[in-house]
Structure 1
Amino acid sequence: MTRGQLAEWTGLDASTVTRSLRPLIDDDYLRESRPPPTGRSMAGRGRPVQALSVNPGRHVAIGVKLGPSTVSAVLTDLSGTVLARHAASLASADPATALATIGAVVDELLATSGSARQDVLGVGVGLSGHVDPESGSCRLSAILGWRDVPVREPLADLLDLPVVVQNDANTLALAEHWFGRGRGASTLAVVTLGIGIGCGLVLGDRLHTGERGIAGELGHLPLDPQGRVCTCGARGCLEALAGDTAICELSGCVSVAEAMSAASERGASASSTRAREAFRQAGDALGRGLAGLCNLVDPELVIIAGESAAAFGLMEPAVRESLAVHGFSGISAEVRIEVDAGQEDLWTRGAASLAIRAGVGQL
């Protein structure tokens, strides 16, 4: 952007913008260059117009995804470009073991990438469940088996680096909004499919986590009081009806990948018919969940992501049908639904985005 564009975007006068930018240019956080041609002549008197852009190499950030069996991490520049990655198996989801494993993964990442610790803007950690970003603690994670576990402070002491902690679906929403399919959309929802069903919300260009950090818990939307018992202990949550466990139970398969293979078989064998019905039922539940989300939030865009996003195509007809029935005032025909089935670095890049946002805010 040029200074003039920044002034228009922020509503500040040109002199204030120029004064505010000078320290960032002097410290090499921003760099100047000639903007690309716009079709209009740039000829004329005076100083040539300069465009400003972030210097992505000024700092690096680390993003960590904590799962029930694996710790994955990436090191990125300020544009979210992955420079290095490392992962390790988690011997136990016990908090002490998990935090120690995160520390070892981060140390290995820095050692192998050649990055200096003083260049790290911060470490973002994403994990499932109810995460309180203010205290940096995990209030409840059924997948990890955690309740009231402090994460930020012990991890910051261990790493000697700033740490920010957030629900993993929220980190993914931030990454999609900044760098992915959600760029340019001011209101969007990222719905993650997998063992759990999560949702990150961006409202008015800001990550929305609610008063206590549980906004977007779409997976625990109650849909069927007589349905399967959810990991949270309640019956009939969306996660219990459309998550990986439900699909496996309904299809009789040991994994969603096996169920996808069975459902894609030609013909009408018992196994293929059962698998297709499993995805139909899961899709119907997911469509009702998305209808509730759209009726409440009215997003411009819904992005389907997560480990089982590749299965969305098998659910989609039922999703669309259910959304059309339960979505208010024809919203099903207007909301865009896109699938981001890419797996590598999806969650960890989101966590790094969280560290970038928090770190830049402290500069």
Structure 2
Amino acid sequence: MHSPPRTEAVPVPTPAASLVFTTTLSHGPLTRAEIGRRTDLSPAAVTKAVRPLMAAGYLVEGVDEEARPSLGRPANLVRVDGGRALFIGVKVTGDEIIAVLTDLCCRIRVARHVRITTRDPGAVLSSTAALVQELLTEADGFGVRVSGMGLAVSGDVDRAAGVVRYSPFLDWRDVPLAELAQAVTGLPVTVDNDVRALTVAEQWFGAGVGVPDFALVTVGAGIGCGLVVHGRVVSGAHGVAGEIGHLSIDPQGPPCHCGNTGCVEAIAGDAAIVRRVGEVTGLSVTDSAQALELAHRGDPGAREVYARAGEAIGRAIGAVVNVLGPQRVIISGEGLAAYDLFAEQIRDTFAAAAFGTAAQCDVMTRPLPFEEWARGAAATAIQSFIGTEHV
């Protein structure tokens, strides 16, 4: 039997303390002078913010022996003690649950996978609870209690309410997931859209660190987009900001499960590609691996399907860049396995769609395994623990 989890949060009673902690978390180790430069806080304000964080053991300070200067005193560096707290992150797909145990710096310590044969919320929660118990046992070995859990699923997710409004790949509607998960795990639970959760991880710990305006575009079963504007992850008034998968770019295009026609996802999502490759080749194509193999073998019909998918993704990225003007667009997701088949179309269509200097946006690819999506869920739990969801 596990003891109840620690529920106290990081002591960040002021915006300055929150800023200092998150800056050190993402950019550290840092000297106090560097913290001041990055946060525009005075030395006195930095000291005032750091003091309670150090007293509670979340920040530690010490000499960086490797960076010892040739003259003068060695620099004291402030860093987050990642081992001060542990978190669980869970990503639920249509056929698998991926769970990870991370430290406070969102470094994965343990990862677990389990296949699911039903998408019934009760059955999924039961499997999730079993995985969480395994990770809680692993956490015992570190001598640190788990302080929170993040759950990430696709679709329309209301993080504030902890409710999955609609997840098309799971066929869930109005599932109070946070409440149900907390009841079966005993942990504080944060529920968020999977792409938005991955965006939090990229903002704090990945390719978005230090970039105040960026977009994360994911390709695969769905086409998703997470947005960071002025340093904040944007969900919009109704929680569905960034749904570029449902931009209707071809009114005469194929029907989409959302009810519209010609959506990016209806052209470039995995299921759409598989279906279309089967149609144009006349073969029985049942999954993405088969479609990909046909295209890599040079089948002209299959290659054309992927080319069209690349054009749709490039047009969607162009729309994001024209509207928001981000400094960087990160392309990720399991669909990157086919990137060589549509990379040129993405680049060319984006360049044609981007207006003026928007075309200077840095578009990069970042392959991420599904463990990273679960890590994104853990990042939302860390965010809730620190109390910076709205900072």
TM-score (normalised: structure 2) = 0.85
Contact 1:169 / 1:192 at 8 angstroms: preserved in 2?
Answer: yes
Give the direction of change, closer, same or farther, for the CA distance of 1:4–1:175 in structure 2 (3 Å limit): same
**Counterpart pick for 2:87 among 50, 61, 68:** 61
Work out the CA distance in 2 between the residues paired with 1:88 and 1:21.
41
1:227 counterpart SS class: coil
Secondary structure class of the residue paired with 1:290: helix
**2:136 and 2:146 in contact (8 A); partners too:** no
C-alpha deviation, 1:9, in angstroms: 2.8
Q: Which amino acid in the other structure matches residue 291 of structure 2? A: A
Is contact 2:139–2:146 with CA below 8 Å preserved after alignment?
Answer: no
In the alignment, the residues of structure 2 paired with residue 275 and residue 216 of structure 1 have an alpha-carbon distance, to the nearest angstrom, of 29
The CA deviation string for residues 137-165 of structure 1, in whole angstroms up to 9 with x for no partner, is: 01111111111111111211221111101
Match of 2:38 in 1: 9
- Specify which of 278, 285, 296 is matched with residue 312 of structure 2: 285
**Does the aligned pair in 1 maintain the 2:139–2:145 contact within 8 Å?**
no
1:52 & 1:76 partners in 2: Cα distance?
A: 21
Q: CA deviation at 1:118?
A: 6.7
- Matches of 1:258 and 1:302 in 2, distance apart? 29
Instruction: Show the counterpart of 2:225.
Output: 199
TM superposition outliers: structure 1 runs of 4+ over 6 Å? 36-40
Deviation string 1:94-118 (CA, Å, 9 cap, x unpaired) is 2222222211111122224535897
Q: Could you tell me how far 1:78 is from its partner in structure 2?
A: 1.5
Maintained 8 Å contact 1:91/1:97: no
What secondary structure is seen at the aligned counterpart in 2 of 1:114? helix
Q: 1:153 to 1:24 in 2, by over 3 A?
A: same
Q: Give the match's secondary structure for 2:367.
A: coil
RMSD, matched Cα: 2.1
What is the match of residue 5 of structure 2? none
In 1, Cα distance between the equivalents of 2:201 and 2:193?
Answer: 13
Q: Is the 8 A contact 1:110 1:116 kept in 2?
A: no
Distance in 2, matches of 1:43 and 1:341, equals: 43
Find the aligned partners of 2:327 and 2:65 in 1 and give their Cα distance. Answer: 30
Residue of structure 2 equivalent to 1:259: 291
Q: Give unmatched runs, 5+ long, in structure 2.
A: 1-29, 279-284
Q: 1:116 to 1:37 in 2, by over 3 A?
A: closer
Query: In structure 2, what is the Cα distance between the partners aligned to 1:91 and 1:361?
Result: 36
2:101 is the counterpart of 1:75: yes
Partner of 1:310: 337
Asked whether the equivalents of residues 110 and 117 of structure 1 are also in contact (C-alpha less than 8 Å), the reply is no
Q: Secondary structure at the match of 1:342?
A: coil
Aligned partner (choices 62, 66, 72) of residue 33 of structure 1: 62
The one-letter amino acid of 2:148's match is G
- CA distance in 1 between counterparts of 2:90 and 2:353 reads 37
What one-letter code is carried by the residue in structure 1 that aligns with 2:296? S
Once the two structures are superposed, the pairs formed by residues 72-151 of structure 1 within 5 Å of their partners are 72-115=98-141, 119-151=145-177
In 2, the alpha carbon distance for the partners of 1:213 and 1:165 equals 12
CA positional deviation for 1:355: 1.0
Unaligned 5+ residue runs, structure 1? Answer: 267-271
Equivalent AA in structure 1 for residue 316 of structure 2: G
Partner amino acid, structure 2, of 1:24: L
Bigger CA drift: 219-228 or 10-19?
Answer: 10-19
Matched to 2:180, the amino acid is: P
Between the aligned partners of 2:306 and 2:381, the Cα distance in structure 1 is 36
Of 188, 191, 194, 1:168 maps to 194
Deviation at 1:49, TM superposition (A): 4.4
1: CA distance, partners of 2:362 / 2:259: 33
The aligned amino acid for 2:115 is S
**What is the deviation of 1:241?**
0.9
- Aligned-partner SS, 2:105: coil
Q: Is the 8 A contact 2:84 2:144 kept in 1?
A: no
2:347 is matched with 320
CA, structure 1 residues 117+63, in 2 after alignment: closer, same or farther (shift >3 Å)?
Answer: farther
SS of the residue 2:227 aligns to: strand
Q: Call closer, same or farther: CA 1:39–1:200 in 2, change over 3 Å.
A: same
Mapping of 1:296-307 within 5 angstroms? 296-307=323-334
SS in 2 for 1:345: helix
Letter in 2 for 1:3: R
Distance 2:378 2:71 in 1: 38
Q: 1:142 to 1:103 in 2, by over 3 A?
A: same
Matched with 1:227 is 253
Could you tell me how far apart the structure 2 residues matched to 1:33 and 1:225 are? 61
How many correspondences in the alignment?
Answer: 353
- Calculate percent identity across the aligned residue pairs: 38
Cα contact 1:56–1:77 (8 A) shared by 2: yes
